[in-house]
Structure 1
């Protein structure tokens, strides 16, 4: 049977005379490139890199022994959630009471609803912080524990994700190492702020979608190899990884609403991947097939699952009468489940509207606020903690600082890599370059709207969801520099691979040196004031 008589489009002229098995093999190699390296090292390498990053994050995690920056909100909210399921109002000077070892920091009220605290972020991130406090207590180590855990796990996820995208264990470990050594990721992994949890769930969602992409293509190729005939292609069966991605996206929104942009963008990306997969095996009607067989499941994964998951994270608010805005008419709803549920949901919607209004009007100034265009160049970091201590280090003026800033070698290298990825995508339409550019843009460009239209107060650490995609951009460029293995028509010459590997290794070494140089001002180490000032890359903007 000629290729043009089949339900598939012709791939190229040379394919017509190929044997069916050869043609099927070429389709599999093109649609599903094989994974290089052993399965064992595919896990051991990323685990070793994650262990290295975890050691960096957990060593002396309770230092500085202080309430750092916005920990003043989230540490107390997390502790309140694990005790009362909702956030409650604290007493005056609660931070001082906590550092003195007290836990009775919440106001006493006649009724629970009068103690409700007005909070402007969903509860999941604070629940995660509270989980650490439930284990280790209301202290710096306890409220930073969960951040260190998810920071470490994100290194493992990125290493495995990069391995899957590049089909190289070495490049996967390279990506994980860069994330382990990024200063902003490091600082947020050692502080009880919400943004590290937001980044974690976004990264997890993207990783799930890449696994789902591979599995969907594997099923399509298997169907093709079995000789089934249909111009639309098969249904692909259960897709648990796409459902998991939808749940992770909901969990990101349950930390901060900024996860919504990624939820929409990743849904579009996954559907486009379905179109591309069906087109790649040569179906005559790939788009109709995707709409018929993939879109209904995509709707469930990216609409129904996220809605249910997001609502479940508010269980504490719905389960008690002590949450802010729980003001339904008890006299009407008492004994009537329908009115009870309706009024509860109505109150919850009203609360969400109040929070939306708050964010839209958040325009107060702050000494460390920055604009989105400044973020890629690290022009204005955030001082999470600073304390001067005259004479504390050998008679000199001394400083302790925690500066929320990325590792410059990584961030400036990422700028070059992203430009290279644009050229690569325009030239080749490689899905990996497109996915990384798309995800980076989604994490960055929406903030320009808030900066220009609403003049909103913003900080560098809002860029943390962009960091994994910056590192993926560097990793993809590293793969291009080294070239594919082998001395075939598609392989790179040995000399090129040696030179490319040396260049990538030199870059990794520069990152390590840069991180080591910054380490004292990322961890609150006591150093002479002159050494602290020497580490300020842009003197006027970093201080």
Structure 2
């Protein structure tokens, strides 16, 4: 302290006052001065959202913009190329005969060219052995019934609509999980601009249908969780007031959202059998969720009550209805006479069931024999394919699928490469690991992070079963079934990086900057890859620049 300061101190505090301890004074001032939190962006956002009109504009307008992007990336030039590409050779033609005959029939040689030329009625009437249920093909056929087959738009629009709806559904799930319109927009925006989701909405194959209906079922499970939670407290109050025991908790028979989930999962199974794993995993999730809800409500035997009493009831609500929906989608096969194995017992020398199953109608026995034959095909499919991808490599994007490739003499290339945005995909893979660690830490500390567990349940249902088929011929594009859950995991990780408005200013500013920079990079990379996802004519050198890894070629 200089001489002038000392003189001023004596004048103010008196000549006998003890000297000031400068370090203590600074520490005391720091204690009294609150640490600044948030950022200028947070303060601006709070002021803006305080206006009800601005809030409504954001809550409705931002998702609408995401949907507009999704529609544009999936519908613009959907009819290009005007030829049957990749596995459209199966599903488009099967959809056409399914719509016209009630079953999938065989096609003569050269049928692809005839179909694309506007003459699809060259199909034969003898049945074709198909290995996937009918619902996805009914959807493809509906598009052709409405828009015709003169343009590829007609045979692709059904799947494209499902792809657009998948974006909307992802936002609904994100809003339910995170309670934030902003995070819902982030999740929807990510899947709206990702290549795997775009390509599989623009090429008429089945997997987007599995993704949509599986996510729809999961969304209904979320709604059921809230429904069941709201009914626990009134039940406990009534039982307590009546002096009746509450140790085991209620058995809830009427769970409308669980019934809706059964219908949705049944539809997923009716597109591809892999939808069955979503039914199983989210059925287990429902039981575990019920147990934790009962524990939180104070029910003594919360675990055994959920597993032994509510669990069987939930299974009865889910499984029979899902299987009934699946069986219903085979109605065309049952109503026709020409389907594969349709009269296996009556006309093909099949052996009918005996004993206690002898009462089963031949129609169902024939259908069951067909299902066994399909299962045998799936278990024995090991034919090598140039674009097959081991499931162990899916999360690392090692072997994408080339759906279409044309090069001319002028050095121009048109390609449809089913590859996710690498920056998004690798970030989502890291995010799944992050959520797994967070859930394990939460369980150790006695805090269940139910939203993270929900996301990981979807990942497990879509991915882990493929570990049983490592020797089978499978492809990277199967990942679309669980990509929405990867995007939700990435959104949760981005939220964790960005932090909260209550965080100290340096932490919050750094978090927002990091999250913003990452999202900006994802957008740029999607713009860069878009020509390779949509078959745009581009120079050969530019197309080749997209093959970042040798295994992508």
Taking structure 1 as the reference length, what is the TM-score of the superposition? Answer: 0.84
CA drift of 1:316 comes to 0.6
**Structure 1 counterpart SS, 2:406:** strand
Measure how far apart 1:292 and its partner are.
6.4
SS at match of 2:414: strand
Say if 2:434 and 2:493, in contact at 8 Å, map to a contact too.
yes
**Cα pair 1:209 1:270 within 8 Å, conserved:** yes
Matched, 1:523 2:537: no
Residue of 356, 381, 386 corresponding to 1:367: 386
State whether structure 2 residue 161 is matched by structure 1 residue 144. no
Aligned counterpart in structure 1 of residue 138 of structure 2, from 107, 112, 127: 127
Q: Matches of residues 278-357 of structure 1 in structure 2 within 5 Å?
A: 278-291=294-307, 294-327=310-343, 342-357=361-376
**Once structures 1 and 2 are overlaid, which stretch shifts more, 363-372 or 83-92?**
83-92
The farther-off stretch of 75-84 and 322-331 is 322-331
CA distance in 1, matches of 2:60, 2:172: 8
Could you report, residue by residue, the CA deviation over 1:470-518 in whole angstroms, capped at 9, with x for unpaired residues? 1111111122223345x4xxxx345544432332222221111111010
Tell me if the contact between 1:166 and 1:479 (Cα under 8 Å) persists in the aligned partners: no
Q: Is the 8 A contact 1:51 1:152 kept in 2?
A: no
| Structure 2 counterpart of 1:84 | 101
Q: Is the contact made by 2:287 and 2:307 (CA closer than 8 Å) also made in structure 1?
A: no
Mapped partners of 1:73, 1:340: distance in 2 = 36
**Is residue 2:199 matched to residue 1:180?**
no
- Aligned position for 2:293: 277
Partner in structure 1 of residue 422 of structure 2: 408
Match of 2:434 in 1: 420
Contact (CA 8 Å) 1:86, 1:116: kept in 2 or not? yes
**Change beyond 3 A, Cα 1:407–1:225:** farther
Matched position secondary structure for 2:384: coil
Aligned to 2:354: none
The number of aligned residues is: 483
Alpha-carbon distance in 2 for matches of 1:528, 1:44 = 37
Which residue pairs with 1:238 in the alignment? 254
Aligned: 1:94 with 2:111: yes
Structure 2 residues not aligned, in runs of 5+: 1-49, 348-356, 443-447
Q: What secondary structure is seen at the aligned counterpart in 1 of 2:427? A: helix
d(CA) in 2 for partners of 1:533 and 1:372? 25
Aligned to 1:446: 465
Cα drift, residue 144 of structure 1: 0.8
Structure 1 residues 425 and 100, CA gap change in structure 2 (3 angstroms): same
CA shift, 1:284, in A, is 1.3
Q: 1:400–1:521: 8 Å Cα contact kept in structure 2?
A: yes
Question: 1:18 corresponds to which residue?
Answer: none
- Aligned residue for 1:164, secondary structure, equals helix
Q: Which of 82, 104, 108 lines up with 1:65 in the alignment?
A: 82
Counterpart-to-counterpart distance in 1, 2:60 and 2:175: 10
Whole-angstrom distance in 2 between the partners of 1:126 and 1:385: 21
1: CA distance, partners of 2:204 / 2:368 = 28
C-alpha contact (below 8 Å) 1:46/1:160 kept by paired residues = no
Are the aligned partners of 1:232 and 1:288 in contact in 2 as well (CA < 8 Å)? yes
Deviation at 1:258, TM superposition (A): 1.2
**Aligned-partner SS, 1:83:** helix
Asked if the contact 1:122/1:254 (under 8 Å) is kept, the reply is yes
The 3-state SS of whatever aligns with 2:202 is coil
Which residue, 203, 221, 224 being the options, matches 2:215? 203
* Residues 477 and 430 of structure 1: CA distance in aligned 2, closer, same or farther (over 3 Å): same
- 1:52 and 2:52 matched: no
Distance 1:328 1:443 in 2: 34
- Cα distance in 2 between the residues matched to 1:505 and 1:218: 37
Name the residue aligned to 2:13. none
Question: If you compute each CA radius of gyration, which structure gives the higher value, 1 or 2?
Answer: 2
Q: Is the 8 A contact 2:213 2:267 kept in 1?
A: yes
| 1:103-126: CA deviation from partner (whole Å, max 9, x where unpaired) | 21212x5xxxxx111111111111
Aligned-partner Cα distance in 2 for 1:321–1:414: 48
Where does residue 457 of structure 1 map in the other structure? 473
Task: For 1:460-479, list aligned pairs within 5 A.
Answer: 460-479=476-495
- The 8 Å contact of residues 381 and 404 in structure 1, kept in 2 or not, is answered as yes
Contact 2:267 2:325 in 1 (8 A): yes
- CA drift of 1:190 comes to 0.3
8 Å CA contact 2:282, 2:457 repeated in 1: no
Q: CA RMSD in A?
A: 2.4
Residue deviations 1:2-55 (CA, integer Å, cap 9, x gap): xxxxxxxxxxxxxxxxxxxxxxxxxxxxxxxxxx99788555533431222112
